[in-house]
A and B are shown apart, each in its own frame.
Chain A
């Protein structure tokens, strides 16, 4: 069997506003649009993904937060209606996704072998979180590529940040081993916003873009600093700054997807491509890609 590989990784944030703005048939609320620069960024990411022709998408979402270990979706087909508990006015989405249970089980087993508490989620009535769904919809609205869904274990919050990051780095290594053994072409999705400072009240018309801007200038500056470093391939410097970034930008990357993905990709030194940046209720969101195949990694 051919050795599997991670062909690319994307930072693919999940504000449900982006799905709302796009008016797909799966989402009940209708909008007048909005957040176009971010949606155009996802258009570019979609084209890149299409060219990569992956067998599977793996997504790590902060909105499936688990207390006891790292959990993996383990039901072949999951469908239902996902209503965002924070933005129910914007996101009421009928989802229907295929899970690559075989790869999920392999990731879970590798994680266990590395000493991580890990388990498979086998309940067919499970409601997939809106972070997972939004990221998957925005990167591949056709829903024709099987998925591995991974929870965000609470360790970065419950333990020290360093201990939590160490867990995610191990999870990334376990993910890479499982992918290599699977023979599959995999794309990783880090479902995270950068600066997470946000407004506390919603405009009467959520898509009124005259109300949209960075909530925090300090957060915005962190976003630009990190994007610039990633565009230069300075991942080591980003990881050195990680604790300060998390603290000062209230960055959602604390939840683990970012170190998970970078670890799985071997902390690539190749420059990341910025597909676009924009704010959503004041938070900073970048759509970025490491095309490892093109880089020959």
Chain B
């Protein structure tokens, strides 16, 4: 079996930077439980897609073997810095770049010192990847739709299978998109609109019911809640896993009003 685990996680740095904040603690605790599950699945690599790594030209893949440094988020800099210590499975990433040609996608490697790896990738790697498994990181090309993102994830898994590797599939992004655009008391953070909160919870229920229910729900959910990047991070999970039979929600909450969750999928 190539895919040994799969997760949908928030890319907000807030639960990582302030895990003690009561409003963000459930997400931090959810991350800890998901990290245990990922470790137990013993992957050789993590196939990670973050909505926050934006590309507009070509499909980009990280191929720098080791990125080390400190990242300061452009929005949440006041809450602290994010340490970066990310290792990449370069042979697998390069094979994915080659594999993009087979699905008609123009792709490029990214191997540059001080490249600003996005906040979502850093948060997921720090919070979820306690084993320090190497990553394969794919950018979110804003012109790629849900279906093409699924195809790319499926291609990546097929390439991993060709290398005989066990992989975890991780989609990094949020749920409902409405955030507080004025300063708030962070202890009272909550999903901004009650309707979004209800929609988030219903959508998480759909994930728990399996991939058919998730597919049926995602379009309406994304448009009703202005969900993060049309939920393309779920497309990555759907494409990578080929479907799931259920899910467990390890954590749910708000990140400055926007919906966020940590979800582990039950593989089909």
Contact = CB atoms under 8 A, between A and B. Distances in A.
Interface in B83-139: 106, 108, 110, 112-116, 118
A65 B54 CA distance: 13
B182 A68 contact: yes
Given A68-B183, A117-B181, A200-B143, A122 B78 contact: yes
A125 B181 contact: no
Contacts of B146: none
Contact of B116 (A64, A83, A199, A201): A83
Interface string A38-75: 00000000000000000000000000111111000000
Given A155-B181, A158-B181, A88 B115 contact: yes
A67 B181 contact: yes
B74 A88 contact: no
A83 B112 CA distance: 8
B17 interface: no
Interface residues on chain B, size class: 20 to 34
Given A66-B74, A155-B181, A200-B143, A83 B58 contact: no
Nearest to A167: B181
A144 interface: no
Interface residues of A, number: 35
A126 B58 contact: no
Nearest to A124: B72
Nearest to B71: A127
A67 B75 contact: yes
Interface string B225-256: 00000000000000000000000000000001
A198 B72 contact: no
Contact of B56 (A127, A159, A200): A200
A2 interface: no
B114 A83 contact: yes
13 contacts: A67-B75, A67-B256, A69-B183, A83-B114, A85-B116, A86-B54, A86-B55, A117-B182, A119-B78, A121-B77, A127-B116, A159-B181, A200-B56
Given A125-B70, A199-B57, A200-B58, 7 more contacts: A65-B74, A68-B181, A81-B114, A83-B112, A85-B54, A119-B78, A158-B181
Interface of A: 64-69, 80-81, 83, 85-89, 92, 117, 119, 121-123, 125-127, 129, 151, 154-155, 158-159, 198-202, 281
